A = this chain, B = another copy of it.
Amino acid sequence: MAQSKRRLNLNVGINPTGYLHEAWKYRSGTRHDIADPDYYLRLTRLAHEGVFDAVFVSDMPLLRLEKNSRPSQIIDPLILATALTSQVPDIGFVATVSSTFNSPFNLARRAQSVDIMSGGRLVINVVSNFVPEVAANFGKDPLPPRDVRYPRAIEFLDVVKKLWASWDPRREGEVSEEQFWDASSAHTIDHEGEYFHVRGPLNVPRGPQGHPVIAQAGASEGGIELAARHGEILYTNVLSGPAGRALGKKVRDRAATHGRDPAGVRIVPGLVAIVADSREEALRKHELFSGTGSEDGLLARFASAHGIDPADFDPDAPLDAARFVPDPKRIQALGFTLGLVDLLTHEKLTAREAVRRSEGNHRLVLGTAEEVADQIIELWADGSVDGYTLQPPRAPDDIEEFVRKVIPILQDRGVYPRAYEEGETIRDRYGLPYPD
């Protein structure tokens, strides 16, 4: 590990109006913020003030037209990453990119270009799209079948990494006056796999990080395999300490069998934090921001989401984990449901308790700034997680509040830096190894 002292890593989501679908009603600003460059710059400067390691944007190449929809994934993530890292120093950028609707050559080139232009501050969060409507924006064919999703994504990243390593100016020998460069510093990759045929080399040389850091969120069997082979920052849903430790161990052990350094895997799950002057006020904010309006509303949503008959539902009875094992045939992001199963396996909880433990499919922490800081430190201190990717319910309001109220407490506790200090790249800041 390049890092000498372990410290909490924090990213923050900047999808423009916030993470929770209904919370925009309580945010400041107008809907025109979503396409306003100055607004994104303001969010990123705020994140920089909070010494966040990186800002994060989720993505889906789709505009939903339902009356109650809320466009929140607008500017292409790699374009946004470039614009913001060009204007704000230090801070990294986690850009969500699709392995389903990009060619490996184009994606490798664009990502390496951003890493070079930002001085080594790019993380790509690789997703394989699972929403069928997306496919209709890319041709006549339906989505690749589910059982192909992860094998194809794994091969996609195999190719991308080969391309990233295909031209390394450090391999240059002596260059005669008649030649511009030593062409032997680049080589074709001649990849001929099941899903991709790519000759290479990439026409972008190795960048400041060797290659961009790879983040990944899947928690299903296929997702774990992808994480073990290629994942460096795991954004996977983790709702409890034991679940975090189990995930870390599983991925690191399997990474080692693929010849990777297990220290090259960081667990940095999503986190929804709701801060208020009292716990009661935070509970009330949770009810509003979730769109359920009340604790009964939260419970009703929980029952409905899990197909529980309301007539047969005792919110104060302990929940049985086995009841929530997901149906593998259903089209959904499995990781989120698996998070709940993990939580219930390790803790006896009632529905009334469980609904306060996650929101928007991520771990929920709520209370005063002190209470929120305590809960964040708790799972970091015992090694369950390496940090968190904060998903503010509302933007800009909840980013501002976190930066003003929670960050100073984390700094006072000595677990979080007061300034950018470990080096210039995201690998330095996360203590991640550089690729060979």
Contact = CB atoms under 8 A, between A and B. Distances in A.
A4 interface: no
Nearest to A192: B140
A71 interface: yes
Contact of A63 (B102, B116, B167): B167
Contacts of A114: 79
A106 interface: yes
Contacts of A137: 105, 198-200
Interface string A155-198: 00000000000010100000101111101001110000000111
A205 B167 contact: no
B35 A205 contact: yes
Contact of A82 (B79, B136, B177): B79
Nearest to A72: B180
A294 interface: no
A203 B71 contact: yes
A183 B69 contact: yes
Interface string A122-164: 0000000000010011111000000000000000000000000
A147 B151 CA distance: 36
B105 A103 contact: no
Contacts of A197: 136, 139-140
Contact of A87 (B67, B86, B109, B138): B86
Interface in A36-94: 37, 60-71, 73-76, 78-80, 82-83, 86-87
A63 B180 contact: no
B65 A117 contact: no
A201 interface: yes
A288 interface: no
A106 B179 contact: no
B188 A65 contact: yes
A198 B139 CA distance: 6
Nearest to A86: B86
Contacts of A209: none
Q: Which of A116, A179, A186 has its CB near the most chain B CB atoms (within 10 A)? A: A116
Contacts of A79: 78-79, 82, 110, 113-114, 117
A24 interface: yes
Interface string A94-117: 000000011101100110011011
| Majority SS at the chain A contact face | loop
Contact of A116 (B35, B167, B203): B35
B80 A117 contact: yes
A138 B204 contact: no
Contacts of A62: 203
B181 A74 contact: no
A17 interface: yes
Contacts of A86: 82-83, 86-87
Contact of A203 (B32, B63, B67, B177): B63
A31 interface: yes
A105 B71 contact: no
A119 interface: yes
Contacts of A101: 103, 105-106
B201 A63 contact: yes
A178 to B, nearest CB: 8
A299 to B, nearest CB: 23
A202 interface: yes
Contacts of A82: 79, 82-83, 86
A75 B180 contact: no
A178 B82 CA distance: 34
Interface string A21-34: 00011000001100
Interface of A: 17, 24-25, 31-32, 35, 37, 60-71, 73-76, 78-80, 82-83, 86-87, 101-103, 105-106, 109-110, 113-114, 116-117, 119, 133, 136-140, 167, 169, 175, 177-181, 183, 186-188, 196-205, 207
15 contacts: A35-B169, A35-B204, A35-B205, A35-B207, A63-B167, A63-B201, A63-B202, A68-B179, A71-B180, A71-B181, A74-B203, A75-B116, A79-B79, A79-B113, A87-B87
